[in-house]
Structure 1
Amino acid sequence: MAADKDRRLFIRLDLDYADHPKIIGLSDAAFRAHITMMLYSRKYETDGILKKPIANRLGSQWDTDVLTELQENDSESPSLILRADGDYELHGFADMQETRAEIRARTERNRQNGARGGRPKKRKETQPVTDSVTDSVSGSGSDSGTQKKAEIETEIEIDIEVPKGTSSSEVETVSVRPEVEALLDLLDEGLRKNGTKIPGRTKQNLDAARLLLDRDGYTVAQVEYLIRWSQADGFWRANIRSMSKLRDKADTLRLQSQRKQAPQQQSKSDAAHDFVSRLEALDAAQGSRPTIDDHLELR
């Protein structure tokens, strides 16, 4: 029986990467940060784009300002570019790495090949070779710009444990970020307390949690609040039974929770005002008129 294929993901770095003028002068922290950003972008298929919170989180692992260092290591084409929208872009990512579109196209070719009973027949050497099912190598950007994807590369591995029974089309979503896992766990806990069936960790639900953070602009704390609020609300607990549904209704949940908080806050404000008014009336009846500040000092 043939051994299972290595389904881990990879990034591509040309052999000149470490010696490139832009890279060789980096501090150890900035060098490692650049590699880490490439790994992240390939792993989560962001095509070299790093949302500002993600870039800040990745950069905060070191004591030095690695983001600034990577933005200033070349006057014309620095390794890291600050975009107009506040996010960051890894320079030259698509020159060496598979983009999301390329990954989807390769996956579709593999699916079609599998439907036909396997890989297509080997073509003549004079013809370009079609990517096959064995092409499990993925990419991230090098900064040298001197070599293309077809040239000699060295590969840095991202360790991903692939559960048994996982299909090749699911491999690229197996690894889950800790904050995404924590959000899914929190929702499961709320559903369990409400006696609701726990949904599976499907690609749809994993992507929903990730996209709430990466694309929709919610923080982890904000998503946690929406989860807890929805599972405590009499109407929404019956309707929010998966992360994909929560993402679909996230804006509605946020607005409704704010509307329900407003009367409570107004009620507290009215009660405080009434309390102060009664104190002032009592003081007036007793012939003295201390200020509100006097009452606060007494308290």
Structure 2
Amino acid sequence: MSIGKEVVRVTWFKVDDGFYRNPKSAVLSDTATSLWLRAATWSCDLLTDGFVPEKMLPMFRSPQDAAQELCDAGLWEKTEGGWRFHDWFDYQPSAEEVEELKQKRKEAGRRGAMARWQNDGKPIANAMANAKQTDGKVHGKPIAKSCPVSVSVPVSNSYELDSVADARPEVMELCTHLADLIAANGSKRPTIGKQWLDSARLMLDTDHRTPTEAHHLIDWCQHDEFWIPNILSMPKFRKQYDTLRLQAGRSHPRSKAQQNQDANEQMVRRYAEDARQARQAEQLRLGA
């Protein structure tokens, strides 16, 4: 994910390069292998420590037989409400370790932003001091003309972006998606700042747009010859949303398959939010 100052993912699912020939995995069906991989990346993303709820199987497009196949192979273990990856913590970091690393990176980003801001302020302070000493002039000319000072104003910093990404991942995802497509169309990749984030948030919370619909509309406008050069920011996208929606509806009616995909994506987001709230509740309980 690249947003202004690049934000690096904290978690990656680690797979041994001998997976294809391991006695446990080599005999798996394609369906079971797909389930194992999808569930593993999902668990890393949502920090469930290798736990896979039964209700997630439809989302992974996998039958119960595939889950049983993984249990029979010794890759999964049945537990209350779902399954667990065998020996998860031997190869993957725990949710606690990931959260600790994220906090360290946020703090490092915050300190870096503060240092940059302080450094950027030094030329201004020096210029003001010089102005006082020379009565506001250099060689008889106003100091503003003789010694121009460039002022650097940070639009955003990694700490703020990380905070939004954690609290409102759907807001960050929409901003990143639009910025990526704008760059893919040949324009300079825009910086995701406060105006972008506020516009995306208001679009969802105040305008009551769904993340899935907005995502598809971004796709449409960034493939339309007229709108490609006219939608180059999230504030502009929000302003033109209804016009874009009506034009996209006339030119590309939504198929049944697309509607099913939208429903699946919404279900995934609900599960992600449930998992996030469960983690917060558990952290509060342990802290108490």
TM, length-normalised to structure 1: 0.38
Instruction: Say which structure, 1 or 2, has more relative contact order (CA 8 Å, 6+ apart).
Output: 1
Larger radius of gyration: 1
More helix per residue: 2
TM, length-normalised to structure 2: 0.39
